[in-house]
Structure 1
């Protein structure tokens, strides 16, 4: 466990921060429609600010995050709903550089998780990514060919550089 761990701290700091947040809250009554018509599928990595990296603010976009920023079944479900019910007409799929899912093998992640947990993790699947650009192209094809993604939705893929903040388009 890292030195920055908050294990054992409870949730008081977060609840206090929530009170401050609620004091300035301005989204009461918001209908949940993506005001900029954008959905972003990206990694759960804490170095990524999915709204900020494309100049958006809360309420502008639907965000779906998972390890590696992959478009699997849950992401497709979210995108179908977003394109039909929540105003989304543009989809960005955004994995990132220095991603643990793309820089470790299944065996390495199983070993690391097992060592941290003190338990056998050999049965767990982590869906590592051998070739990030190929995986991104596969995900884009999955979105573009899904029969329930609304017609006319634009889809694009980018790799986010966690060291520069820049997006690089992948066709």
Structure 2
């Protein structure tokens, strides 16, 4: 469902989420929670809806800063956010956590995704970089190094990677 030509949203398009929020707000209990990461953790993971970041790592609201994007990739925006999280929001360690059966790790490169979207929807997305890579461990190693060697992040910042298995719920450290 998309906006109309004049930019308006079709009536009722978001009623389900706003109604759910009204119920949520009735028992809301996080007022006054500090904006810092109480456990010092920044988690970079995928936007995949099969991932429940807090539950899978034994965290509760306020424990971590969670950054999500397609493929759990360390993009320039991820680095910008990590710099802010380290210096202003109490982050003192970073976990990069891609997952099994990820669409972004199942194609050899961005061209495949661009072609698919062009063929199926008639939309040219070549102005975007999707950061796809079918070598998931290689991409993870690259992303870890981007953080470890970023000039604005502290030397020695603990950074590690793991893979989340969407079929078992287990997190496997990679040793990278």
Q: TM (normalized to structure 2)?
A: 0.85
Aligned to 1:60: 63
The 3 A distance-change label for structure 1 pair 104 and 80 is same
Once residues 126 and 149 of structure 2 are traced to their aligned partners in structure 1, the CA distance between those partners, rounded to angstroms, is: 34
Aligned with 1:132 (options 128, 136, 143): 136
Do structure 1's residue 11 and structure 2's residue 11 form an aligned pair?
Answer: no
Q: Secondary structure in 2 aligned to 1:51? A: helix
Do structure 1's residue 145 and structure 2's residue 162 form an aligned pair?
Answer: no
Aligned with 2:83 (options 80, 105, 108): 80
Q: TM (normalized to structure 1)?
A: 0.87
Aligned to 1:41: 44
In structure 1, the gaps of 5 or more residues are 2-6
Query: What is the total number of aligned residue pairs between the two structures?
Result: 166
Displacement after TM superposition at 1:169 (Å): 1.3
Question: RMSD value over aligned CA atoms?
Answer: 2.0
Equivalent residues of 2:41, 2:91 under 8 A apart? yes
Displacement after TM superposition at 1:59 (Å): 1.1
Once residues 152 and 120 of structure 1 are traced to their aligned partners in structure 2, the CA distance between those partners, rounded to angstroms, is: 41
Do structure 1's residue 22 and structure 2's residue 11 form an aligned pair?
Answer: no
Once residues 62 and 122 of structure 2 are traced to their aligned partners in structure 1, the CA distance between those partners, rounded to angstroms, is: 41
Q: Secondary structure in 1 aligned to 2:44? A: strand
The 3 A distance-change label for structure 1 pair 119 and 81 is closer
Equivalent residues of 1:84, 1:150 under 8 A apart? no
